[in-house]
Every structure is written in structure tokens, then in C-alpha cells.
Amino acid sequence: MSTRTKVPTGRGEAILFDSDMSCCVCQIRSKSVQLHHIDGNPSNHDSNNIAVLCLEHHSEATSTPGLGRRLSQGVIRRYRDEWLSKVRARRLPPKLATRAALHEALIQAIACHEIRKIRHSLQLHDWNRSRDLLQSLYMFTNWGYGTETRTEILYTLALMADSTRHKMPVAIAREIEGLAFAALPIASLVNKSRRRTDRRTQELLRSAMSIGFSIAHDGVKYLHDLAVTAAGSRLMFIVLRYAHLNNLREKKHILGEFARLQAEAVRMNFEDARRWIEFEKLDALALDGDPLPSFPRDLAATISAAS
């Protein structure tokens, strides 16, 4: 029988560190541990011959075999090697981003910063200046910009939409509608999207819906302006059409918002607005083969004539 000798201090500390002071079998950090000589020779202090085990599993590894199968040398080595690999992998530093990825992240960050600067410069009731600033946001709506940039644009438009009741001109309402549509990651309103509509895209759609509702609602309630109302309801049409085409759960909520808007038009005795909102809703729901709603040419002429 080999004489037991002490594991060299530096080697023992290194083995414990490499094992994260944890038993390689149960891997529970809070348990007391011991250094186990796998081959049973207590004087063989080769690092490859030592495994870190908790008291329970150390006892199991050194007990006399009976009816139950104890931890054999081969099993312990497998546990030890797998656990050391896990600990090493966990300690690896995060992978550095590629130059291309860093460049892309920088472009997105600069875009968001520029949008915030524009938002800070907006004078919500200075409509002429606001229109010029809004038009400058179009450069950030191309497909090279991601969700963060689009979110910043829609947040800016939401702030503008909240000022609709302060005599927002039709031109501004239409600018917001067009810019919001451009900021949405929508490739088609005719064909179903080839990509799954993820959570972040759904959030953008909800933001656009809120903007459209805000403009249309204030156009009905405060301005009694059919053209402003139509700009908002057109954005609502876009979101409803996309949701209906792609079977999104948001469709039920959007239909509820259309119903709220129509009820407000009835309450304000604004029949032209109610008719137009109804048309936009039915038109959004008409897919291939579905009957098209009757186009209200008289209302369309009134909207087109608005400056």
C-alpha cells in the first residue's frame, strides 16, 4: 500500500481553482470538497490523477463495492474532464465583435443620436419648421437601419401626433403618416411577409397604430377636419392590413381602435369621418377574392382638395 503524502500546495490550489472549488460529479459550489486520487495511489499527485469531489462522492468513490455500483476510475475521469471543460468555457472572455459589426453598431448609434437631436429641435406648434425637420428623418428609414433607429423615429412622430389638436395642418399630418409608414419594416401590403413578425416588429406596429389613432381622433374631435382624420386613419389602415394579411394577434385590438374612432365620429356628429373610417377598415380587410367596399368618391375628392 502506497504511503500517503501531501499534495504540493501550489498544485492543489491550481486543481481546486480549475474545478471552481466544486465537485466534478454534482457540481454544487456550496459543498465542502476534497482532492481525490483517481488511481487510489495517495502519493501520485499528477494533476491528471486528481479530481475534486464533495464528501459524499469522495466516500462513494473510495467505498468497497457492494450491491450498488461505486464511482469507478473511468467514470470519475469522465466527470472530471467534462467539468473542467465547462469551467474553462465559462471563464472565456466574450468574443470580440468583428470590425464590420462594430461599424454597423456605430452607424446605428449615430443615427439614433441624430434623430434625438432633430426631436429636440422640433417646435411642436411651429408647423413650417417642423415639416422641414420631419422630412430630414426620411434618410433614416431605409433598410440599412435597424429597430432602434425606427423606434426613435416613431417616438418622435408620436410626440408630434399628440399636438394634432393644436391646429395641425393637413400637410404635417400627411408627412407624419408617410414617415411612419416608411419607418415600419413592411415589405408588402399585398403578399404575406416571408419573415416571421417578431416581438420588436410588433412593437413598431403598435407604435404606428397609436400615432394613426391619435391623429385621426383629434382630427375628428378637435379639428373636425376630414383630411387630417384621413391621414391618421390611413396609417391605421396600413397596420390593420399588415396584421390581417399576416394573421397577427394585434388584429383584434386594431379593430377595437377603429370601432372607438367611429364611435367618436358619431358622437361628434361627423358623418363624413365615420364613413371614411369605415371604408378604410373594410378596405384593409379585403384580401384576394374578397369583395371590395364601395369607394366614397365624394369624400376622396374632399380629402384630395385639402391643402
- Residue-level pLDDT, tens digit, the chain, 307 residues: 567 788 888 888 999 999 999 999 999 888 899 999 998 888 888 989 999 999 999 988 887 655 455 788 889 999 999 999 999 988 887 776 788 888 888 999 999 999 999 999 886 678 888 888 999 999 999 888 999 999 999 999 999 999 999 999 999 999 999 999 999 999 899 999 888 888 899 999 999 999 999 999 999 999 999 999 999 999 999 999 999 999 999 999 999 999 999 999 999 999 999 999 999 999 999 998 889 999 999 999 999 998 6
Exposure b/e, 221-241, CB count within 10 A at least 16 = b: bebebbbbbbbbbbbbbbbbb
Domain boundary among 58, 91, 124: 91
Tell me, yes or no, whether 80 and 124 share the same domain. no
Tell me, yes or no, whether 65 and 140 share the same domain. no
Contact between 42 and 33 (Cβ < 8 Å): no
Tell me, yes or no, whether 27 and 152 share the same domain. no
Tell me, yes or no, whether 125 and 259 share the same domain. yes
Distinct helix (H) and strand (E) counts, the chain: 12, 2
Cα distance between residue 49 and residue 37, in whole Å = 6
Tell me, yes or no, whether 208 and 76 share the same domain. no
Domain boundary among 66, 91, 116: 91
The pLDDT score that the predictor gives to residue 118 is 93
Contact between 73 and 7 (Cβ < 8 Å): no
Cα distance between residue 233 and residue 215, in whole Å = 8
Tell me, yes or no, whether 182 and 272 share the same domain. yes
The pLDDT score that the predictor gives to residue 64 is 65
Considering its fold, how many domains does the chain have in total?
A: 2
The pLDDT score that the predictor gives to residue 30 is 85
Answer yes or no: is 3 within a domain: no
The pLDDT score that the predictor gives to residue 157 is 96
Domain boundary among 35, 60, 91: 91
Tell me, yes or no, whether 122 and 155 share the same domain. yes
Answer yes or no: is 238 within a domain: yes
Domain, as residue range, for 241: 99-305
Cα distance between residue 244 and residue 189, in whole Å = 10
Q: Parallel, antiparallel, or unpaired: how do β-strands 50-54 and 33-37 relate?
A: antiparallel
Cα distance between residue 146 and residue 161, in whole Å = 23
Contact between 114 and 152 (Cβ < 8 Å): no
CA distances, 187 to each of 97, 115, 143, 166, 184 (Å): 29, 23, 10, 34, 9
Claim: this prediction has a pTM higher than 0.95: no
Answer yes or no: is 4 within a domain: no
Cα distance between residue 202 and residue 243, in whole Å = 9
CA distances, 113 to each of 25, 110, 116, 201, 221 (Å): 51, 5, 5, 21, 35
Alpha helices in 123-198, H assignment, sequence order: 127-135, 147-161, 170-183
Answer yes or no: is 206 within a domain: yes
